[in-house]
Chains A and B, each alone.
Chain A
Amino acid sequence: MFDDLRDLYQEVIFDHNRNPRNFRVMENPDREVEGFNPLCGDRLTLFLKMQGDEIIDASFQGSGCAISTASVSLMTEIVKGKTENEAKELFHQFHAMTTGKEGEVDLQVIGKLAVLAGVREYPARVKCATLAWHTLDAALKNEEKSISTE
């Protein structure tokens, strides 16, 4: 019945939505930033633990749609062990993938984040997928305030 949506709602997304990874409050985080999408009310808090310029732990709290929950869940998995620059490159790649600039996307780098590529066909949902990454970007820039997709 929802055949048209198979590209958007892949099984991995349902899985992360049902069982989000790293869904916890972090004790003594080095970075803590709130991300907010006023359009739909999605709200998340991202926590990072840093060692030098390496992200050694990432977790989140909040509520959002399946796309935004899966996106932040996948992101917290993939950025663990990455340096700040590597994480920023991932953000750049993710942004390119979700906004339809496939030419700039390196599938090796993007890895399993590719399951979110389907949002590019749904302009109204791109922000759901990118909210997590904009929040990470703010956290890496050490902006200790809330960010908004609007």
Chain B
Amino acid sequence: MTTFSIEKIREDFPILKEKIRNKPLVYLDNAATCQKPQAVIDSISHLYTHEYANVHRGVHTLSVKATDRYEGAREKVKNFINAQSTKEIIFVKGTTEAINLIAQTFGKANIKAGDEIIITAMEHHSNIVPWQMLCEETGAVLKVAPINLQGELIFAEFEKLISDKTKLVAVVHMSNALGTINPVEKIIAAAKVKNIPVLLDGAQAIPHMSVDVQALDCDFYAFSGHKLYAPAGIGVLYGKQALLEAMPPYQGGGDMIRKVTFEETEYNGLPYKFEAGTPSIADVVGLGAAIDYLTEIGMDNIANYEAELLQYATAKAKTIKGLRIVGEAREKGAILSFVLDKIHPHDIGTMLDSLGIAIRAGHHCAMPVMDFFEVPATARASFAVYNTKEEIDILMNGIEQLIEVFG
């Protein structure tokens, strides 16, 4: 049951009133990026209007206010994912930078020639390429755990890959191309037997479910703000404090130092050791506002509502002749990836756009997934808290119409 007013939520997102090609916008490209509630937009505007200055620098009032807002947002993130300490919350540009940070710091310090890194066959390019680069540099080997035709990880095969050579397991929490939610508890438990650190790519999972990093006992968790109703250009790397302490810094510069002479530099403590340079202050504040907004609604309520939407959309999609759903995992988030017989996803995208419907058509930065399902691309409708069953009806009706036009 929906425990919140969907009308009220839609009111909170000003862009939903836009007309696209003279039709009301039906925004179903949320897995690419989410729209922003007024509270987030206002928080940024308020900061720039009343409270903006550089953080951790000045003794002047504005700098203190801006620092309070910035560090206040870090506290909100800490609570949102239930980290132990704000020292474990590193602000980065996004999931991609978070993963690259781990590859370049933890990876270079701990992974040597002959060591192995395990990923899955459903990863986004951002959780493939940084490891390939690291492997090329170090001589380590990338191992890929296979998936089945439903788009689920074959857990037994994953387990077989774990060995004394494994130095890191890096897996996606929820697949952007398939919607699959991985059995991360089991993955982490299996890795812990051999004390292997686990990184979860939470870019897709974080807006759809409550995440508790302590309950999961993951070592690293990475996510982006822009998929969490917050601004683009900001993201979070969570890491267990002991691991972060032991890691060398990422980039050198201001804020990440305690003392600099030309002979040597003493690095700052956590989390600043990994935050060189002036950060994206307003975006961090926006992320804090987004977290407040979502906490008010309740992540479990959001998860339940989106599960309802996905179930409704899946049932409707299955009645359309010539439509094949790509990704039918039992555990699945609010993503419906599909192909139509003899109609290319790009044509689907343009046709639906003319009806005001925004979906994604393409390989979703997961080309190996497309290869596995032997499709060049898929069309993907992805849902957020502000979507409705009426919008799904409009989508399905549009799909039926375009099938007719293509004949």
Contact = CB atoms under 8 A, between A and B. Distances in A.
B346 A125 contact: yes
A76 to B, nearest CB: 19
Given A9-B405, A125-B346, A41 B21 contact: no
B405 A65 contact: no
B190 interface: no
A40 B346 contact: yes
B362 interface: yes
B354 A2 contact: yes
B124 interface: no
Contacts of B31: none
Interface in B348-407: 350-351, 354-355, 361-363, 367, 370, 376-377, 401-402, 405-407
B350 A40 contact: no
A124 B361 CA distance: 11
Chain A contact residues: over half helix, strand or loop, or mixed?
mixed
A78 B377 CA distance: 29
A42 B362 CA distance: 9
Contacts, number: 63
Interface in B50-104: none
B376 A63 contact: yes
A69 B407 CA distance: 16
Contacts of A67: 346-347
A5 interface: yes
A2 B377 contact: no
A42 B351 contact: no
B345 interface: yes
B354 A4 contact: yes
Identify the interface centre among B344, B355, B376: most chain A CB within 10 Å of its CB.
B344
A39 interface: yes
A43 interface: yes
Interface residues of A, number: 24
Contacts of B406: 14, 17, 66
A81 B367 CA distance: 38
A131 to B, nearest CB: 11
A125 B350 contact: yes
Contact of A40 (B345, B351, B402): B345
Contact of B401 (A2, A4, A63, A66): A2
Contacts of B363: 40-41
Nearest to A41: B376
A138 to B, nearest CB: 20
Q: Which of B367, B377, B401, B407 has the most CB of A within 10 A?
A: B377
A122 B350 contact: yes
Given A4-B21, A9-B405, A39 B362 contact: yes
A65 B351 CA distance: 12
Contacts of A40: 344-346, 361-363, 376-377
B404 to A, nearest CB: 9
Interface in A32-46: 39-43
12 contacts: A2-B354, A2-B401, A4-B21, A8-B350, A39-B362, A40-B376, A41-B376, A43-B376, A64-B346, A66-B343, A69-B344, A124-B350
Given A63-B376, A124-B350, A125-B350, 11 more contacts: A2-B402, A4-B21, A9-B347, A14-B406, A39-B362, A40-B345, A40-B362, A41-B376, A42-B344, A66-B347, A125-B346
Interface of B: 21, 342-347, 350-351, 354-355, 361-363, 367, 370, 376-377, 401-402, 405-407
